[in-house]
Every structure is written in structure tokens, then in C-alpha cells.
Amino acid sequence: MTTRAGLLREIAAAFAAAGLETPEREARALLKGGLGLADIDLVARADLPVAEEDAARLRALAARRADGEPLARLVGRREFWSLDFSLAPETLVPRPETETLVEAALALFPDRAAKLRILDLGTGTGAILAALLSEYPNAVGLGIDLSEGAARQARDNLARLGLAGRSAVIVGRWAEAIHSRFDLVASNPPYIPARDIAALDKEVREHDPRLALDGGADGLDAYRVLAAALPGLLVPGGRAVLELGIGQEEDVAALLAAAGLSADGPARRDLSGIARAIVTRPA
């Protein structure tokens, strides 16, 4: 008989042998996600048996994780801004560094009762838009993504989080179909130079959608499009917050300046000290 505790030890040992940095934590997360358990179920009810079909399924998932498939892909979910998001093959896995963008946006508009109009370009799972709407209960938001699958997933996530009444998600190429102006525009665009994608970690290059990674030859293609579009998207006093890749602050600031947009000082840095979120406005 396989118990929860026994399966946890078995999978943690397999993860340790595969060289994962936090094998027990990942094993616990896999069991919780795969069996629909809470932390208490792995502590107070550790000796309960696991059905053999469930054990076999979890061992198969563990083998995929040991081979480099992201845990979030295996369980189909990821937390961002203390909210839970379902994933699709067409979406990136939301990452902690992107919370820096949300923090930068919140600092711009400290009045949480503000009736903001928010635009999220390249919305993916809808994580950024949902995080902002959760902080601004009087705001409304629009997400746009080129991928129909990503847009569908964003709609589902927003609805499950109770935000469908204040949001909409459409399929489109950046802001080409938009004829409105917004108080806040946010975007985490693809910014990896095409030549660098092959050198990314296996978890990223083999499991994240290339459409959400590939920023063109120099990684700046999306920023060129955004810089050209932003002057027509922002209301007077409006702000845009863009996520940056490593070492891109100077180049992106130059593209924005050439389009008549001023950076509001240095980019906000993430917990690793990387310039991660640049804030801009019409000059």
C-alpha cells in the first residue's frame, strides 16, 4: 500500500537525484496539486493510502518534472500576486519578477478607489490585469493577446477570480484594434533576442510558447511597436509600465524617448536587483 507520506518521500528522493534545488518542496507541491490536497492533508493525514492509479499518475508526472518540465505546467496552475491562475500551452507561466511591474503601477496610482481604465497588452494568463483589478475595485480593464488560446485562458481566469464584470479580453496584435485611451497601460512583452532562445533553461525554451518569448533579432521588436502606440493610448496624466529583460533599460528608454515618451526616472528593480519595470508617459 502506498501512503501519502511514502509517495512524498519517494518523489522527493527522485527529485533530489535529478538535482532539483528544493526536492521536498516540489514533491509536496506536486502531491497537493495532483491530489487536490491542502498542507494539512500531508501532515495530519500523511498515512492515508493513495489509490494505485493516482500513485502511478503522480509518478509519471514526477518523471516529467525530473526531466525538466516545469512544475506549474504539470499541475496546470501558478500563483501570482496571491491569486491563482490556470495555465494553457499558449501562456507563459507567471513569474515573481513580473510582480515588480504591478508594484510600479500601484505606486503610480496610490488611491485604490480610483476609477482607472487599464489596458494589458499581451495579457497571457491575465495575471497582470487581474492583479491590478484586484487592487483597484473601481477600475475596469481590457486585455489583448495575439494568441486565441491565451485570450481564452485569460477570460477564464478573470471570471474565476470574480473579475469578469470589470474586464474584457480580445484577440489582437498589440493595440491595432484599439481606439480608446487609458489611465494605465501595462505590458510584459516578448523580449528575448531570437538567437538567445536556444540557450535558455530547458524549462523555458521547451515549455513556454515561443510567441511570448521571441523579441526579434535584438529583443526589442515589441518595444518598438509599443513606443509607437503608447502616445495614442494614454490619457493626459496616464502612465505605461513595461517589463524589461536583463540589460534593456537604456535601449528601451531610448525607443520611448524617440516616440515622445519620457521615463519617470530609473526603472524599478526586482528582488534580484535587475531593472525590471520602466514607467513612461507622454513628454
Reduced 3-state DSSP string for the chain: CCEHHHHHHHHHHHHHHCCCCCHHHHHHHHHHHHHCCCHHHHHCCCCCECCHHHHHHHHHHHHHHHCCCCHHHHHCEEEECCEEEECCCCCCCCCHHHHHHHHHHHHHCCCCCCCCEEEEECCCCCHHHHHHHHHCCCCEEEEEECCHHHHHHHHHHHHHCCCHHHEEEEECCCCCCCCCCEEEEEECCCCECHHHHHHCCHHHHCCCCHHHCECCCCCCHHHHHHHHHHHHCEEEEEEEEEECCCCCHHHHHHHHHHCCEEECCCCEECCCCCEEEEEEEEC
Residue list, annotated binding site for S-adenosyl-L-methionine: 122-126, 145, 174, 188
Residue list, annotated binding site for substrate: 188-191
Residue list, annotated binding site: 122-126, 145, 174, 188-191
